[in-house]
């Protein structure tokens, strides 16, 4: 699992080829996808299992063969469905890469889609003929991830056009479906609080401080946060800290104790207990499984 792609400031691809391809395999009992956002758009498709995916205020039950489109800046995440695991892949790309302001396709479809004035209807299911074609194209793009084909970029770009054309041709789009009014403001406030957590996760963060960032009372913030994230603010902060700890265990020479402190845990026993509950192994065993180095606590 590549934890780093969950961070909103991650670069997807390169400036000349702004496409990132990710594969996730979450077993039963593991978190599926922590809520996050990024400026790029995304096609996410389930390969096996099932999960509930949330995009903005909309929720979808996705099963193997289903695809969901996520607009740029949309807060999204996924949660277990009936205790099942879920394997899925994501193609994340800068929609501007496909837009030529001089052509009618961009003016009539791609630019409004990029600005949130149009939305693709979700989910697309492989049981529908057009949905099956989309799934095959997405799998073909995913298979290009490690290709040395000199025409790789133009092939991927062409397939992205074909995927969008399938939605357009099937009429599976609608005028602006992003959250409006109060819902949109609430989401932006939650994103502000989440960004504050990402910048300050390694120190104590009272819920009142996050509520102030979001412009809400403590109680209202906690209720809205749990409704959307399916975690309390404290649970979300601890999960975020544990993900950062996992990165440090795999990529740094810090001792396990130092990793705990860097991730914002000042109680090592609590850190170890929380880490094991999420990753089903001790921090030291996790480091060994990732081939990491560093002294032990």
Burial class (CB in 10 A: 0-12, 13-18, 19+), 171: exposed
CATH 1.10.10.60 for domain 181-289: yes
**Which neighbouring-strand residues pair with 33?**
78
Supply the pLDDT for residue 297. Answer: 40
pLDDT in tens, 47-69: 999 999 999 888 999 999 999 99
d(CA 45, CA 42): 10
d(CA 68, CA 121): 8
Q: Whole-prediction pTM value? A: 0.80
pLDDT in tens, 161-179: 999 999 999 999 998 655 5
CA distances from 121 to 113, 177, 232, 241, 278 (A): 12, 9, 30, 34, 34
Mean pLDDT of 1-22: 67
Q: Which two tokens stand for residue 147?
A: 């290709």
CATH number of the domain at 3-175, please?
2.60.120.280
Using only C-alpha atoms, the chain has a radius of gyration, in whole angstroms, of 20
- pLDDT at residue 6 tops 70: no
- pLDDT at residue 200 tops 50: yes
Q: In 81-120, which ranges are E strands? A: 86-93, 118-120
Domain ranges of the chain: 3-175, 181-289
- Could you tell me the pLDDT band of residue 189, with boundaries at 50, 70 and 90? very high
CA distances from 203 to 136, 189, 252 (A): 45, 21, 20
Contact 114, 96 (CB under 8 A): yes
Q: What percent of the chain stands above pLDDT 70?
A: 92
- Could you tell me the pLDDT band of residue 12, with boundaries at 50, 70 and 90? confident
Mean pLDDT of 140-160: 95
Q: Note if the bond before 114 is cis, omega within 30 degrees.
A: no
- Could you tell me the pLDDT band of residue 44, with boundaries at 50, 70 and 90? very high
d(CA 297, CA 295): 7
d(CA 259, CA 3): 16
Mean pLDDT of 238-255: 92
Q: Which helix (H) or strand (E) holds 242?
A: helix 233-251
Supply the pLDDT for residue 2. Answer: 40
Region of 272 on the Ramachandran plot (φ > 0 left; ψ -120 to 50 alpha; else beta): alpha
């Amino acid at each position: 699992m590549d934890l780093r792609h969950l961070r909103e400031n991650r670069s997807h691809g390169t400036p000349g080829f702004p496409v990132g391809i990710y594969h996730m395999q979450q077993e039963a009992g593991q978190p599926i996808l922590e809520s996050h956002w990024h400026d790029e758009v995304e096609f996410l498709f389930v390969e096996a299992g099932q999960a509930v995916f949330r995009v903005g205020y909309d929720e979808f039950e996705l099963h193997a063969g289903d695809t969901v489109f996520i607009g740029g800046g949309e807060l999204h995440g996924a949660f277990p469905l009936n205790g099942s695991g879920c394997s899925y892949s994501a193609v994340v790309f800068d929609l501007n890469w496909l837009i030529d302001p001089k052509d009618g396709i961009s003016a009539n479809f791609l630019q409004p889609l990029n600005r949130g004035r149009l939305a693709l209807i979700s989910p697309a299911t492989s049981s529908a003929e057009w949905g099956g074609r989309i799934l095959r194209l997405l799998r073909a793009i995913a298979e290009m991830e490690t290709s040395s084909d000199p025409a790789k970029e133009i092939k991927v770009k062409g397939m992205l056009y074909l995927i969008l054309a399938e939605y357009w041709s099937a009429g599976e789009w609608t005028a602006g479906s992003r959250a409006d009014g109060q819902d949109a403001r609430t989401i932006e406030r939650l994103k502000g609080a989440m960004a504050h957590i990402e910048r300050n996760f390694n120190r104590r963060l009272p819920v009142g401080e996050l509520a102030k960032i979001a412009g809400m009372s403590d109680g209202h913030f906690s209720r809205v946060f749990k409704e959307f994230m399916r975690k309390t603010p404290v649970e979300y902060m601890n999960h975020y800290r544990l993900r950062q700890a996992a990165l440090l265990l795999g990529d740094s020479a810090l001792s396990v104790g130092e990793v705990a402190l860097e991730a914002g845990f000042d109680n090592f026993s609590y850190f170890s207990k929380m880490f094991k509950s999420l990753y089903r192994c001790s921090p030291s065993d996790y480091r060994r499984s990732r081939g990491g180095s560093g002294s032990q606590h």
